[in-house]
Structure 1
């Protein structure tokens, strides 16, 4: 168990490492972080970084295609707490333009929003032409946490199930592509990841009282998930289940599948030439007062 928790903690630090990768040093960085790993583990790690880096390059091409064609995409990420949704979203957005690909992670509704049409607060986050929106949890909160925790009644839940297929069909008819992912983990894996969060001071903020209740109500969440998938899996916006016990495999598989959902192609760009800096004889740079500088502690 300790080894598994340590492995989970190590995985959480890979995000910083991934941002340092390039074609020349990815193997060196992947090996250097954990020299105690076995030969097979190091090879697996190299493969992960190499494939992640390659597919992030494809995501940049996808981004360019979305902008050029005016395509509109909504990608929904759902799953149990600690299923790895956030990690996958981070790897997708890491090297993309936040003006093109943005994340919508809405907090609990306020008093005013509770009186609105249920889908109303999500509509303002939908994409315009040339945009991708990744929902880190979505309107499916009603079918999951709200149902399990008693934040909605049976009538509201049934109305949601009647409405959501029509709502998503309407989005698709308006030209918005809707892609829905459910990240699936085991009971044991969620238990391990929660222990990792408890013992890692950098990740304790991820644990909320609601997260802890998800352990108590594991079976209730299972029933809620099964009903949600059964009643909202429609041809226009089907569900795709990502096996997420192994975080790295889940990320790669999710990104690979996301890329396959759009007929993108590389958009040619004119070569970029850096212009010469213009120098004027009457230009004079004024010194900045010393007390305005940030102290150089490091």
Structure 2
């Protein structure tokens, strides 16, 4: 075998290893999700082989969508809403996993500070909307007012009613400005939320996900249900409809959500010129300085 062929063979082997490493990243997240699933009785009807095959295929389509958004300077805003532990974060991770963070970014705003409380309610959300060539995923959104703020008494009845009355017009304005707005509600059953909360309670790696607010939301399940029903009824408009994701099965929910998202934007594959790696410049006068051994991270593994 010639030196050139040997080099290509070694490169191909390295490329295969990189692909496997990328798959391992997703496998690690899946194993983390599944660590206590046997004890909780929650298993997916989608086989692991099918799940990975479809996920990687859909993520490849998301890359094509990203290229199309950039090339056409589209503005895409996607809202993810649902009860605590419904799987919004897991779906968002799988959508963004292979995408450019400069194109696709996640917005997860904390509770408003004292200054923001004096502003127009929508102000801090509007400033996060996408510019041309951007995709913005809202991990919870302005619909906090229709859910947690209303149920927990963080807003007045008048503020709540004003929100429900005005948000359809606001969303129409957002859409009329050229933004593609997609709204998802992740729906889980009472029993499934109980199982997921119990998993978090008994999992030291996930206990941080349970806040006092989450625990209170569990106690107030029926109040949140009523608030959700009112929200969907009052804000499901033709220009910006709600799409409900059946989320008791996490794997199916992710695949269904990504597949549906891809169907909402008529994208096309953008052709790219063939990439050629330029020859590296070698300067015979350059001498690489030594790195002191104490600067290296200890190789424990």
Structures share fold, TM-score greater than 0.5: yes
Equivalent residue pairs, number: 271
Q: Normalising by structure 2, report the TM-score.
A: 0.86
1:3 matched to which residue of 2? none
Q: Distance in 2 between matches of 1:54 and 1:237?
A: 27
Deviations 1:133-186 (A, max 9, x none): 000000000000000000001000011011111111110010001000000000
2:78 matched to which residue of 1? 75
Any stretches of 5+ residues in structure 1 without a counterpart? 1-16
Q: What is the Cα deviation at residue 70 of structure 1?
A: 0.5
Q: Distance in 2 between matches of 1:294 and 1:91?
A: 31
Q: Normalising by structure 1, report the TM-score.
A: 0.87
Q: What is the Cα deviation at residue 123 of structure 1?
A: 1.3
Q: Indicate how the Cα distance of structure 1 residues 53 and 285 shifts in structure 2: closer, same or farther if over 3 A, else same.
A: same
1:208 matched to which residue of 2? 211
1:117 matched to which residue of 2? 120
1:4 matched to which residue of 2? none
Are the equivalent residues in 2 in contact too, given 1:18–1:49 (CA < 8 A)?
Answer: no
Deviations 1:9-66 (A, max 9, x none): xxxxxxxx996329xxx9xx99xx99xx9xx989711111100110000000000000
Q: Distance in 1 between matches of 2:173 and 2:45?
A: 47
2:277 matched to which residue of 1? 274
Q: What is the Cα deviation at residue 224 of structure 1?
A: 0.2
Q: Distance in 1 between matches of 2:154 and 2:240?
A: 26
Are the equivalent residues in 1 in contact too, given 2:92–2:137 (CA < 8 A)?
Answer: yes
1:155 matched to which residue of 2? 158
CA RMSD of aligned residues (A): 2.3
- Counting only pairs closer than 5 Å after superposition, residues 7-156 of structure 1 correspond to structure 2 as 20-21=22-23, 44-156=47-159
Select which of 212, 228, 231 maps to 2:231: 228
Q: Distance in 1 between matches of 2:92 and 2:58?
A: 14
Q: Indicate how the Cα distance of structure 1 residues 69 and 41 shifts in structure 2: closer, same or farther if over 3 A, else same.
A: closer
Q: What is the Cα deviation at residue 290 of structure 1?
A: 2.1
Q: Distance in 1 between matches of 2:58 and 2:89?
A: 18
2:16 matched to which residue of 1? none
